[in-house]
Amino acid sequence: GFPQVVSDTQAYRQFGNSVVPYLIEDIAKNILKIM
């Protein structure tokens, strides 16, 4: 099979792809509130 490092990297990438959009949306909403 693949080395554990590869699957860990892929897992982090999947996790990051799912979380980042929510963070960006949250930050954008906060900026709009301030304005």
pLDDT tens readout for residues 1-35: 666 666 778 877 877 778 888 889 999 999 999 98
How many domains are there within the chain?
A: 1
In the prediction, which pLDDT does 6 show?
Answer: 64
- pTM of the full structure: 0.44
Q: How far is CA 19 from each of CA 1, 10, 16, 35, rounded to the nearest angstrom?
A: 28, 14, 5, 25
pLDDT in the model for residue 34: 93
| Cα radius of gyration (the chain) | 15
For residue 8, the enclosing domain spans 1-35
Q: What is the structure's pLDDT at 2?
A: 60
